[in-house]
């Protein structure tokens, strides 16, 4: 039985002026202080009582957190305070990373996306995080400020378990950085919720593909899944299927089945394991077909 607070429980709002100050405060108050950006995950958990804190540390004013910029040589930098809507409507994102815009726009509602951030989505490390898979497939790297200074953490080694990451007390993610996308990249995000839009995903499938002469098929495809594994999951098995042979609709079917076979989702209130597996297959096939159609044009 849950008995959430009517509002937020008692806590102190802390707004550090510098990254150093933030990291120090967070490290000194390990366990009772956490950084937050949009708060859309933190507040809900605080209200529910599953997260108990004395301090909420607002990182939105810190250096680098508001940055949203694209450099043709280096790629895209998304500061920790940049909202989903800012990402989804940014011309450079729409041009170079349309699949990320699509994933960001699939989150919750317009007004929530004015608070919710990509970095928050990543740090929250929910298996259902809609933008995580796409950031992973785009080889995202987090820029983290800790008590010992700044370090970089690639997303593929960031997640430990649902809600758990490699971040330590004192760590503040400044931004997520996505390198310049491979030439000819096409990507998409397919999300299935209970409502037509706006729900958490029962299954989410991020797919991207681009031409390359490193594989026999002439293309590289990457597939990441939401809500079907404890952590955001990339199906290397299915990707392998698509690298060896000429791409045909049969091969896409085979890859979709391989994707399905690579996960063992659970039953929960949002959907059964059986349905989830089926949907992984069908959405992967749909996403791959769409990407392939565009690539082969």
Partner 1 sequence: MANAKSKEQVINPIGASFTRNDVYEKVTGTAIYTDDFQFGNKLLYARAKRSPYPHALIKRIDTSKAEALPGVKVVVTGKDFPNRIGLYLQDKTIFATDRVRFIGEPVAAVAATSEEVAMKAIELIEVEYEELEAVFDAEFGASDKAPLIHPDLDKYICPNFIFPKAHTNIANHFKIRKGDVASAWEKCAYIVERSFKIPHIQHVPIETHVAVAQMDEKGKVTVWASSQSPFAQRNLIAHALHISQSDLRVIAPMVGGGFGSKAGVTMEAVPVALATKCKGWPIKFILTREEEFYTNFVRQGLTIHVKVGCDKEGNLLALKNMMYWDGGASTEYGTNVTRAGGYSSSGPYDIPNVETDSICVYTNHPIGGAYRGFGMSELHTGLDQAIDELAEKAGIDKVTFLKKNGVSEGDVLVTGMIMHKNGIQECIDNVAKSLKMGEKEKPSSPDRLRGKGIAIMWKAPAMPPNPGSSAWVEMSEDGNVTVGLGGQEIGQGTFTVMAQMAAAALGVPYEKVRIAGPVDTQYSPYEWQTVASRLTWSMGNAVVLAAKDARRQILETVAEAWKESTEDLDIINGVVVSYKSERETSLENIVIYGMPKENNEGWTGGPIVGRGSFMPKYVTNLDAETGQGPRAVVHYTVGCEGLDIEIDKNTGTIYVLKGAASFDVGKAINPALVKAQVEGGFAQGLSSAMFEEIKLVKGVMTNPSFVDYRIATAPDMDFPLDTPFVEVPQDDGPWGARGVGEHPMVPTIAALGNAIYDAIGIRLFNPPYSAEKIYLAMLDKGLVK
Partner 2 sequence: MTLKTITLTVNDMVETVDVPQNMTLLQMIREKLSLTGTKNGCAAGECGACTVLMNGEPVNSCMVLAAECEGANITTVEGLAKAGKLSKLQDTIIQAGGVQCGFCTPGMLISATALLKRNPNPTDTEVRSAIVGNLCRCTGYVRIVDAIKMAAK
Ligand X SMILES: Cc1cc2nc3c(=O)[nH]c(=O)nc-3n(C[C@H](O)[C@H](O)[C@H](O)COP(=O)(O)OP(=O)(O)OC[C@H]3O[C@@H](n4cnc5c(N)ncnc54)[C@H](O)[C@@H]3O)c2cc1C
**Interaction of residue 78 with ligand X, rule CB under 6 A:** no
* Alpha-helical runs (H) found in 68-217: 84-89, 91-96, 98-105, 110-113, 118-124, 132-137
**Interaction of residue 229 with ligand X, rule CB under 6 A:** no
Query: Which strands sit side by side in the sheet containing 141-146, from one edge to the other?
Result: 68-71, 75-79, 172-178, 141-146, 149-154
**Interaction of residue 50 with partner 2, rule CB under 8 A:** no
Q: Which does 3 bind (CB under 5 to 8 A by kind): partner 1, partner 2, ligand X, none?
A: partner 1
**Interaction of residue 40 with ligand X, rule CB under 6 A:** yes
- C-alpha 122/C-alpha 128 separation (Å) is 10
Beta-strand pair 75-79/172-178: antiparallel
**Interaction of residue 2 with partner 2, rule CB under 8 A:** no
- C-alpha 109/C-alpha 111 separation (Å) is 6
Q: Which does 13 bind (CB under 5 to 8 A by kind): partner 1, partner 2, ligand X, none?
A: partner 2
**Interaction of residue 52 with partner 1, rule CB under 8 A:** no
- C-alpha 22/C-alpha 2 separation (Å) is 32
- C-alpha 123/C-alpha 175 separation (Å) is 11
- Exactly one of 53, 82, 93, 119 binds ligand X (CB under 6 A); that residue is 119
Q: Which SS3 state, helix, strand or coil, does residue 33 take?
A: strand
**Interaction of residue 55 with partner 1, rule CB under 8 A:** no
Q: Which does 278 bind (CB under 5 to 8 A by kind): ligand X, partner 1, partner 2, none?
A: partner 1
Residues 197-256 that bind partner 2 (CB under 8 A): 197-198
Beta bridge partners of 145: 150, 172
Q: Which does 172 bind (CB under 5 to 8 A by kind): ligand X, partner 1, partner 2, none?
A: ligand X
Sites of contact with ligand X (CB under 6 A): 34-42, 44, 59, 80, 107-108, 112, 115-117, 119-121, 123-124, 128-130, 167, 171-173, 200
């Amino acid at each position: 039985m849950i008995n959430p607070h009517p509002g937020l429980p008692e806590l102190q709002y802390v707004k550090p002026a510098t990254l150093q100050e933030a990291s120090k405060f967070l490290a000194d108050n390990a366990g009772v202080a956490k950084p937050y950006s949009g708060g859309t995950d933190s507040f809900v958990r605080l209200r529910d009582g599953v997260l108990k804190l004395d301090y909420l540390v607002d990182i939105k004013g810190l250096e680098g957190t508001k940055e949203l910029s694209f450099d043709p040589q280096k790629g895209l930098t998304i500061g920790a305070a940049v909202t989903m809507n800012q990402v989804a409507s940014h011309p450079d994102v729409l041009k170079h990373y349309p699949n990320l815009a699509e994933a960001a726009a699939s989150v919750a509602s317009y007004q929530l996306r004015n608070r919710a951030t990509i970095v928050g989505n990543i740090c929250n490390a929910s298996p259902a995080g809609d933008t995580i898979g796409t950031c992973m497939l785009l080889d995202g790297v987090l820029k983290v400020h800790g008590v010992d200074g700044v370090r970089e953490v690639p997303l593929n080694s960031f997640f430990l378990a649902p809600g758990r990451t490699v971040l330590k007390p004192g760590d503040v993610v400044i931004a997520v950085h996505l390198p310049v996308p491979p030439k000819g990249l096409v990507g998409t995000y397919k999300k299935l919720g209970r409502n037509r839009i706006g729900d958490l995903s029962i299954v989410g499938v991020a797919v991207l593909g681009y031409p390359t002469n490193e594989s026999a098929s002439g293309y590289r495809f990457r597939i990441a899944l939401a809500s079907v594994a404890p952590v955001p999951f990339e199906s290397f098995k299915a990707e392998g299927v698509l690298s060896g042979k000429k791409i045909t609709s049969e091969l896409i079917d085979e890859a979709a089945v391989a994707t399905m076979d690579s996960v063992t989702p659970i039953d929960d209130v949002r959907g059964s394991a059986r349905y989830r597996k089926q949907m992984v297959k069908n959405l992967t096939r749909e996403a791959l077909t769409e990407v392939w159609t565009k690539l082969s044009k």
